[in-house]
Chain A
């Protein structure tokens, strides 16, 4: 965190000054570790084993916050008797279909509701359906069987206990390389600092998500936080530190292929032919919770897009919306470019030639387009790959013959335009424009507004039906200044929503109507322009308001600073403790009150119980704090919504030097793979030849640089602080491979070879895993071929294997070889790589996805794995 989020780390230091203990777990000793109270080195990719060990420690020692767990989580809920655990099936859950490598989730359902699991999980994987759960839980049945004594063998609590029974401190040591005493120190501290009077916070950065089991990493963290009662309470939570400014905003108002604003899923071509099909699929009639109003949110969005043209008669122009037909994720697109299926591409503030996994595929894809528009602050590698790249060196791209026409358009930076940032707390903060952008640099808003305007002018008069979607758009933003800059305030007002007849801005999404009388671009943002005031621009200093600071910026939903804060009070509505008082039930006033906006219906008493037929919000009890979940409970066990299992399970990374010590199933069986000759995978056990790539490498950021380097390698004062690509190795690995401090070394995988200067440092340590010494090395991923300081790109080493839930790449762990000296250049480089592939036996061969024994009959899986 100190390394990648130095400004945010000031609050950790502030907490440390006040006596907080900081625990840091990381493959390498970083600037964060230097300041932490406890540092643990861990093998990259083994986090679920570590956290699963914490879950077991809590359950075995009965350290869970029992009252909270029983009332607020699904610990007591009974699961179907058809359910089989990974303990029973050697690393698979019940319902696995080897043909599609996906799960039928019926057997994961709550008892009596098995029908809820009939989802098309293979399609959900292709559309990264997990992303839509950011604002609300997936649907589950309303009526469930519960055993509040937690004794029923099929209640979630007991299932959890069995699932993690083998995640002992000894197993943590075997899998993660962390000595068991050290592991217990952390588990003890975490549990001891949680309960009525104390809360612990789990902070992670997005590197945690970049694994084939990335979503399950965070799920494991959430299970621990729920067991310890650390959710919905001050000082608790699971905090995601985003990779750069407004990443939260870019999922709320998404730049994603599968979502529309406010987490409305993009319609599927086959499943949602009509507006009603689409809305019903979001709404899940009969379900509890706020998502029941999905029709209003959808209508308001379509009204914001198409204005007066969107009417009840034409289903609010639903037919204008594009449809998904499968996987349109960024990596699938890259392969489609290589295959000539995509002709044109816009890149905005993104540098995939350096920043995305498998740099070679990225560059070859972009070299096979008709046109490419790059809008950036600097001339980046993704705009010059056709004349300056590794592939030009090797002859794979010829500048003379490269067919891609690249249009480079200079962009305005964040200080040169106005708008909002949304940060990880869902807080929108308005920023003013500080200076005019130089030269031809323009904002994204300017670019798209005028692009749309010009296209519409060109199409004016067209009678073709296909042009209606563009011509009917409500494209009427006021502009100002010499360059006709559209008003960002007007856009924010449109996002907030307003009454169509009067123009009165809506104050809350509960005012949204499904008849077309209101319009709003993103239902969760409604209220940011309440009373016609830009609430995101509020800057009341902290010292002039309460410690929750509700008048600084604006948080969605409804300016609520902490989600699920009903959980900060006990089931009767009283604070769990005076020290952790946050939101509580005021019986005299008959309403919820507290330091924050209560995340609950204001006047619903704790004693409220729904009737049999109550649906939607009325279906939630007065003690159901997780109001966006179908059953109002925090989910220790996820019957739907997660495609790779209801409980997190340790799988090895797609590339690992060791056999999974826990199960026959080596890696995530549902991971998204692209088996193509240009995307080989290094062999891992139980396959042969993993010894060709014996070392583990991980990549991350340096404080001195930013992501793919476009904003730092081009700036002299930053470039000089970390002027060269380097690899950090332990003294032990340096001795093993003959590497010298500041000498050159090159790293090899089946995809690529890169060179780097060597930093030998005591901050890297070998680990003992399964009785073997595993060496790890670390690389920054900031370097590329352009800028003041240049170097090989670490992402060239990775292939493309994705998490099944959100289609994020595994780019934080892989296997490689490292050799002293510089890499070959030009065509010999290709021969060098080909030789590695030949020795690894990967030419035309892809690792098996399923390695669990088909049934539990004890048949040998060909490895020396211990039973």
Chain B
């Protein structure tokens, strides 16, 4: 188990996993500022990796009919429609048109109601009660549903501004990967490229990895019980090829390469966007000092991570295990000592 109590040190996860003289760590930099939501990444991933279809359901979540990252969707393009500005638009798109308020709570409620079973677990469970979505859509609480508003921004009479954010989500290939820590069979392993891969022929379907993932990425297929997720196209990169999604991306929103180099590229891109008047641009998952030791697949976002449905401060779920084990051990020792003491101290 890795020592995650000294964050900040840039570690090579492949070396830590015991690979001798590994090649450079490889990963994705997904620049959402140039994503056009074409979903070529989703299709290319499924074609290459023979991922099954994930349901013919109209979800009503803008143009997102995939819903989430699941065992049957290893890339997921999120679409976020919101009545608020995006950095580069100079004039609000709807200004001067006879618009009314943003889409209603009733609409958000209807959207939540259609969350359907995608045949994966936990996947996207059907919402038992759509009413909260409606309550939240009036601007008091952000839900991440299309049309919902951020706190304090729901008091306009008219829509003037509009942004449509798109983002291709994927397994983060954490530096400190809890899924890998908890896997009892060794099915999940760290490759020489520093990525995290499930070996489907070893997975026994125990499902421990699922609650362990701080991003909710890894998922089981209902029919075979095994866990499935992005492999960063282990078979392709091993042969010197680019992963299918990055190869298919027409606008180079998904960039594949050495993580160190990608981090530098991302830093330059953020600076450029800041200079171009997009102060909201920020990186997510690039910091080796964060709760998972930095992600092998990191992102450039145009707002807070919550807007995209990403956890703001992910922490490797096994972070506290060593301490917990130490404490449990200490408690056991104390108990044992007390027991021994009790026997020793017993009058003969």
Question: In whole angstroms, how far apart are the Cα atoms of A762 and B37 in the complex?
Answer: 17
Interface string of B21-60 (1 = CB under 8 A from A): 0000000000000101111101100110000011111101
- Knowing A720-B55, A721-B66, A731-B103, the reply to whether A10 touches B95 (Cβ < 8 A) is no
Q: B160-168, B184-192, B218-226, B257-265: which one contacts chain A?
A: B160-168
Contact assessment for B56 and A734 in the assembled complex, using a CB-CB cutoff below 8 Å: no
Q: How many residues of A contact B (CB 8 A)?
A: 60
A–B complex contacts, Cβ < 8 Å, 9 sampled: A6-B36, A6-B40, A17-B34, A29-B93, A41-B94, A177-B97, A703-B39, A732-B99, A740-B107
Q: Are the C-beta atoms of B38 and A703 separated by less than 8 Å? A: yes
Interface status of A551 (Cβ within 8 A of chain B): no
6 residue pairs, one from A and one from B, having the closest CB atoms: A179-B96, A34-B164, A6-B38, A741-B110, A723-B56, A741-B107
* A734-B58 contact, Cβ under 8 Å, with A34-B164, A41-B94, A182-B91: no
B291 at the interface (CB under 8 A from A): no
Chain B residue with Cβ nearest A775? B98
Is B110 touching A743 in the complex (CB atoms < 8 A)?
A: yes
| A718 interface contact, C-beta 8 A | yes
Given A182-B91, A741-B103, A742-B110: A763 touches B97 (CB 8 Å cut-off): no
A39 near B103 with CB under 8 A, answer no
* A731 near B56: Cβ-Cβ < 8 Å: no
- CB-based contact A763/B81 at 8 Å: yes
Binding site for B on A (CB under 8 A): 2, 6-7, 9-10, 13, 16-17, 29, 31-41, 177, 179, 181-182, 185, 702-704, 716-724, 726, 730-732, 734-735, 740-743, 757, 759-763, 765-768, 773, 788-789
The interface-forming segment of B6-14, B82-90, B311-319 is: B82-90
Q: Answer yes or no: B243 CB below 8 A from chain A CBs.
A: no
Is B16's CB within 8 Å of the partner chain A?
no
* B285 on interface, CB distance cutoff 8 Å: no
| 0/1 interface trace, chain B 95-130, chain A, CB 8 Å (1 if under) | 111111111101110110110000000000000000
With beta carbons under 8 angstroms apart, the residue of B55, B91, B162 that contacts A763 is: B162
B251 interface residue, CB < 8 Å from A? yes
Knowing A703-B38, A731-B101, A732-B99, say if A722 contacts B65 (CB, 8 Å). yes
Q: Which of B37, B53, B250 contacts A10 (CB 8 A)?
A: B250
Assess whether A760 is in contact with B56, with CB atoms less than 8 Å apart.
Answer: no
B99 touches A761 (CB 8 A): no
Q: Do B96 and A182 have beta carbons less than 8 Å apart?
A: yes
Also in contact, A760 and B37, with CB within 8 A (given A38-B89, A732-B99): no
Contact A2–B36 (Cβ < 8 Å): yes
Minimum CB–CB distance from B173 to chain A (whole Å) comes to 24
Instruction: Judge whether B250 and A6 touch: CB under 8 Å.
Output: yes
Contacts of B165 in A (CB 8 A): 34
CB neighbours of B65 from chain A (8 A): 720-723
B36-A9 in contact (CB<8A)? yes
A-B contact count (CB 8 A): 171
Which residues of chain B are within 8 angstroms of A731 by Cβ–Cβ distance? Answer: 100-104, 107
Instruction: Point out the residues of chain A lying under 8 angstroms from B166, CB to CB.
Output: 31, 34
A741 touches B60 (CB 8 A): yes
Cα A510 to Cα B95 with chains together (Å): 56
Decide: A37 and B96 in contact? CB cutoff 8 A: no
Q: Which residues of the partner chain B approach A718 to less than 8 Å between Cβ atoms?
A: 43
Q: Is the CB of A762 within 8 A of B162?
A: yes
Q: Point out the residues of chain A lying under 8 angstroms from B113, CB to CB.
A: 742
Instruction: Give the B interface residue count (CB, 8 A).
Output: 58
Residue B159, interface by CB 8 Å: yes
Known: A33-B164, A732-B99. A9 touches B57 (CB 8 A): no
- Give min CB distance, B138 to chain A, whole Å: 14
Residues from chain B with Cβ under 8 Å of A722 in the complex: 63, 65
B147 within 8 A of A: yes
Closest CB of chain A to B115's CB: distance in Å?
Answer: 11
- Please pick, from A726, A765, A789, the residue contacting B97 in the complex, using a CB distance under 8 A: A765
- How distant is the Cα of A2 from the Cα of B36 in the complex, in angstroms? 6
Min CB–CB distance A1 → chain B (angstroms): 9
A724 and B96 contact, Cβ closer than 8 Å, known pairs A740-B107, A743-B110: no
Known: A37-B88, A721-B42. A765 touches B34 (CB 8 A): no
> Quick check: B147 and A762 within 8 Å, CB to CB?
yes
Q: How far is the CB of A150 from chain B (nearest CB, A)?
A: 34
Known: A13-B34, A38-B91, A768-B98. A717 touches B46 (CB 8 A): yes
Residue from the list B39, B40, B159 in contact with A762, Cβ < 8 A: B159
Interface status of B62 (Cβ within 8 A of chain A): yes
Report B266 CB to chain A, min CB distance, Å: 14
A757–B66 Cα distance when bound, in Å, is 17
Q: Does residue B290 face the partner (Cβ distance < 8 Å to A)? A: no
B89 touches A29 (CB 8 A): no
| Residue contact B38 to A2, C-beta cutoff 8 Å | yes
Residue B303, interface by CB 8 Å: no
Known contacts A6-B250, A38-B89; is-contact A766 B106 (Cβ 8 Å): no
> Quick check: A765 and B99 within 8 Å, CB to CB?
yes
| A769 CB to nearest B CB, Å | 10
Nearest chain-A residue to B103 (Cβ)? A731
B252 CB-CB contact with A under 8 Å: yes
B42 — which chain A residues lie within 8 A by C-beta?
A: 717, 721
Q: Are A742 and B91 in contact (CB under 8 A)?
A: no
Is there an interface contact between B110 and A181, defined as CB atoms closer than 8 Å? no
Partner of B56 from A719, A735, A742 at Cβ < 8 Å: A719
- A182 to B97, alpha carbons, bound, how many Å? 11
Q: Once the chains are docked, how many angstroms separate the CA of A36 from the CA of B162?
A: 12
Contact of B90 among A38, A743, A762 (CB under 8 A): A38
A330 shortest CB reach to chain B, Å = 31
List 9 other contacts, CB 8 Å, given A29-B164, A38-B91, A773-B98.
Answer: A10-B251, A31-B63, A32-B36, A33-B93, A703-B37, A762-B99, A763-B81, A765-B99, A766-B97
A740 to B113: give the CA distance in the assembly, Å: 12
